[in-house]
Structure 1
């Protein structure tokens, strides 16, 4: 029997983190392999019959990248049950409850724009599974909470080099899958955003060695609610820049329109760098709450990655370019 109750570690913007972590109310059921379905650019799989929670997360081989932290890792059950993924609902537990509908295999990504090798790339052609590495990065969200997560994946730069950007590529724009059959939030009458979800990076940001395409965490494949089968991780920016379930990469000359900037331009800028000196209009960014901990800690500029990325913004006004 499932007992529904307020999650004991759920945090709103202004609450203190409670003592206990909320465990995912529905654990994945082992023993049934995911159904094979045909999809084009990650879409079209929603017609397949798919029992709830029957996806088995396979272990992933990886090497230690050397990108780590002495900070304790956030418990896995917290990382996989406390998520922002509005395509599956706006509540923090909604993605874990609803993302069983997502069919992450097979998966393709359309690459277009200013590249010498455009096309539709199968997941296996885009991601070099033999080169997977683990990186332990902090993820900082605008709502003043944060996590420390052991991601598994490859540098975004390795994918960019594979598709061959030309001189016209000044930015790379990303899009998330938007399939009403798989994503109940997309077909909601009260849509929060204009789907599909869109994000973007300047090319020098995308090529920075910290920028990462994750395909797993905690030694296993990415759970659906965490952005399976591949998501962007940009550790010095707020979490909403780390777009999930990517189906399109477009190399463009002009700054791409991004979902949250389009939805609320006074609150969410294109750059979205972690900056404790620039408050969100509805709350302070000076402190953050690590999920699973009591109290708050001081927010670090660029989420603590200033040594690696501050030079990217040396001549910019980071209050104006928030």
Structure 2
């Protein structure tokens, strides 16, 4: 789209490294995505609080507006009810106002002013029967290879520069004392963890970074708790492999998280459960696994049977399979969607 589109962007999280004690999987891809939209000629106004400034003391110079400014498009990283957190009254202990603010934005812009609206349902929490899916002024995007009927695929983007600068040969030569690592929170991953990670952790060096609270049945697992963002990325740099653990609602739609490119571009080989829809599009065949026994066997081969050249070839193959996530590709897709939502000459 040639004209500048003023995008009111609502998200709950951080653009920078943020703070340690909070869930936010968007930190490796949100800022590159926003910067690319700005570089393409659009104006971004953030409509939720500036958490980088207020919580992390990290002012980054982006435009935030707590009011209801004039915009051409409302873009929402979808928020959903979380009991005891954003469903409580404003000012209550532990309350976050992300959901209340989203409701206000939808009432004012989407319903009140018929502002074209894009809902990016990154967590697959928008109900299949939600009225917004059928609203004439709303487009729903999902970070899945096979999105829900009527939704558009908008994958988690990886910066072109990060992709283009990857050196599989150099990454394969890096010393990796940890055999298996996982970075991410527990949410809805217990079954996958039981099947693919926990049995293997009894036999290999490993580490898990993230918020894992209900862990009594895994006393043998090394849980590091939440780590600062850059420390979590460093864990990938010291690990031979990771397992791509997904909630079932992600796996059924072929929705891979940003963990795949965080790991691959750090030189950490991703082992992908074959039950994930289109798993073969994410990793080469030697990295597909069906249970903990497969994970164990693959780790042994990578550690003792595969030479540096073989690991480099696997990493190069994994890097090539990240092309669908390329940032410029996702921005182009969003631009086409904006063209359908905002007719030429409609921007103010």
TM-score of the superposition, structure 1-length normalised? 0.24
> Where is the strand percentage greater, Structure 1 or Structure 2?
1
- Indicate the structure (1 or 2) with the bigger Cα radius of gyration: 2
TM-score of the superposition, structure 2-length normalised? 0.22
Structure with bigger RCO (C-alpha 8 Å, 6+ apart): 1
